[in-house]
Amino acid sequence: MKKYYIETYGCQMNESDSEIVRGILETEGLIRTESLEDADLILINTCSVREKPEQKIYSRLGKINKILPAENNAKIGVIGCMAQNLKSDIFRQNNNVNFVLGPDSYRKLPEIIKTHREHIAFTDLSKTEVYEELFPSRSSGMNAWITIMRGCDKFCTYCIVPFTRGRERSKPVESVVKEIEDATNRGFYEITLLGQNVNSYNYEGNNFTDLLKKIIKNEKIRRIRYVSPHPQDITEELLKVHRDYYPKLANHIHLPLQSGSTKILKAMNRNYSQEHFLSLVKKIREYVPNMSITTDMIVGFPGETREDFEETIYVMNKVKFDTSFMFKYSPRPYSRAYKMDDDVSEYEKSERLTEMIDLQKEHTLLRNKEMIGKEVEVIVEGYSKKSNAEMMGRTSSNKIVIFPAVDSSGEKIKIKSIIKKTIIETKGVTLFAK
Ligand code: SAH
Ligand code: SF4
Ligand code: F3S
């Protein structure tokens, strides 16, 4: 039996795609190995969103060549966004790579693993590929990723994703429902709907909220999450569903701000202003007062002055995000900003990022402290990393809670159970309960 090995970089979409790829390979009779040296097929699912992850992947590929024994005949494939971005250039950079597959070309895998041709690249982007009827081989755990749409039509000027992932397209409603049924039948309790702009879902007139309403009725699902929504498509209709279905629909929205400066937002092609973003947050909190709001922010976009950066700090102080992902701007090929002057110095970018991270830490702690004394619903995921006397679980707002492994009557707490816990302490991003 042939064995495959897979490594995944980048976002949840890539994690989910790796599960699709694994499903395809396992249907072909390959089995997974965790050992690189053992594998007949090595796949690296890659990310291009910033320069750093790309460099990391190149050095990883170099290392793989060194790790593999000289007589090794394993085929090496680079797949995902970097494959799409660099296409057959990858062969020039690393001659040991045998094939390159972009995110819309995974159906070529069965053909590719049977051929002896070297240096093949399939990188056509599709307007329709949603990998329907292919059941992913899911990683064990609580949560099943369900990709409901692919691609991005937003063209934020800094971003490479519309070029590596192609145009937006949505999976048929029935197909999503079927995939979720399959996941819940296999014991997954939590469903995370995925898409580059998950709430831009639109299939034959069914929008994201219509889809959510259909899914939410599935009684085997204990919790539903979704990432990443675009602020543009957060509707009142969606907020009503949040209000009506909490805690089954998680009280968490990831709302990427990118910048707090209206001028920079415009240059980024983010189609909202600072005022609009703040009023959206206000509206979200009117519907769901305890909604956890997380975000993505970029420092040092071309033309960002100290004053622009302070506008972002202003928004952070107004909203007090629960957590955020913060990045230095990195010029990406194909994107419109690539042609702009990358005029914020590396020193300035680092200063701004550090300032932002420090402020975010304060806000995270503040948000977590607000939870002390409150009772929350926790889905138990397993034992804590530190000890078997403690277990860990996740709140509807996506926060990790650590608590004793036995309840007050001395009973062992079961994995996957839903329990009520009162938060007593917070350290860093983690909450502790009685
Ligand atoms: N579709 C998702 C995000 C995809 S990329 C969304 O719009 O929310 C994830 C994050 O990476 C983005 O939100 C952005 O903050 C960051 N990012 C994307 N391109 C970048 C670049 N060129 N430099 C720095 N950060 C970038
Ligand atoms: Fe990139 Fe913007 Fe599309 Fe998100 S919405 S993937 S940031 S272009
Ligand atoms: Fe990276 Fe592609 Fe995701 S560029 S962030 S893996 S969509």
> What confidence score (pLDDT) does residue 346 get?
97
C-alpha atoms less than 13 angstroms from C-alpha of 302 in its C-beta half-sphere: 17
Torsion of CA 59, 64, 69, 72, to 10 degrees: -130
- Picking from 91, 122, 153, the residue at the C-terminal end of a domain is 122
Whether the CB of 154 sits within 6 Å of ligand 2: yes
Among protein residues, the one with the nearest Cα to ligand 3's atom 3 is: 11
pLDDT at position 405, please? Answer: 94
How many A from CA of 158 to the centre of ligand 1? 8
Task: Answer yes or no: is the C-beta of 256 below 6 A from any ligand 1 atom.
Answer: yes
| Residue finishing a domain among 332, 354, 369 | 369
Structural domain contains residue 385: yes
pLDDT value for 211: 97
CA–CA dist 184, 144 (Å, integer): 8
Using a 6 Å CB cutoff, which residues line ligand 3? 10-11, 13-14, 47-49, 80-81, 161, 164-165
Confirm or reject: Cβ of 171 under 6 Å from ligand 1: no
Flag whether 129 is in a domain. Answer: no
* Domain of residue 78, residue span: 3-122
Tell me, yes or no, whether 279 lies in a domain: yes
pLDDT attached to residue 428: 81
Measured over the CA atoms of residue 328, residue 331, residue 337 and residue 342, the dihedral's sign is positive
Q: Could you tell me if residue 135 is inside a domain?
A: no
Residue 270 CA, closest ligand 2 atom number: 2
Ligand index nearest the alpha carbon of residue 50: 1
In total, how many domains does the chain have? 3
224 torsion bin: left (phi>0), alpha (psi -120 to 50), beta (else): beta
Put simply, whether the predicted model's pTM sits higher than 0.85 gets the answer: yes
**Ligand 1 contacts CB of residue 161 (under 6 A):** yes
- Please give the structure tokens belonging to residue 223: 């919790």
Contact 287, 242 (CB under 8 A): yes
Q: Is residue 34 exposed (0-12), middle (13-18) or buried (19+ Cβ within 10 Å)? A: exposed
Peptide bond into 247 cis (omega under 30): yes
Q: Encode burial over 388-414: b for 16+ CB neighbours within 10 A, e otherwise.
A: eeebbbbbbbbbbbbbeeeeeeeeebe
pLDDT digit of tens for each residue in the chain (434 aa)?
799 999 999 999 999 999 999 999 999 999 999 999 999 999 999 999 999 989 999 999 999 988 888 778 899 999 999 999 999 999 998 888 999 999 999 999 999 999 888 899 999 999 999 999 888 999 877 899 999 999 999 999 999 999 999 999 999 999 999 999 999 999 998 999 999 999 999 999 999 999 999 999 899 999 999 999 999 999 999 999 999 999 899 999 999 999 999 999 999 999 999 999 999 999 999 999 999 999 999 999 999 999 999 999 999 999 999 999 999 999 999 999 999 999 999 999 999 999 999 999 999 999 999 999 999 999 999 999 888 999 999 999 999 999 999 988 889 999 989 999 999 999 888 999 98
* 261 in a structural domain: yes
- Give the Cα separation of 171 and 150 in Å (integer): 8
Of 335, 350, 369, the residue at which a domain comes to its end is 369
| CA-proximal residue: ligand 1, atom 12 (nearest) | 296
Which atom of ligand 1 sits closest to the CA of residue 196?
A: 1
Same domain, 89 and 148: no
* Residue whose CA lies nearest to ligand 3 atom number 1: 47
pLDDT at 153: 96
Answer yes or no: do 160 and 23 share one domain. Answer: no
Residue 145 one-letter amino acid? W
Q: Find, among 109, 132, 104, 129, the residue nearest to 120 by Cα.
A: 109
Whether residues 216 and 77 fall in one domain: no
Shared domain check, 355 and 337:
yes
Same domain, 92 and 206: no
Which domain CATH number covers 261?
Answer: 3.80.30.20
Q: Are residues 113 and 29 in the same domain?
A: yes
Give the separation between CA 401 and CA 380, rounded to whole angstroms: 9
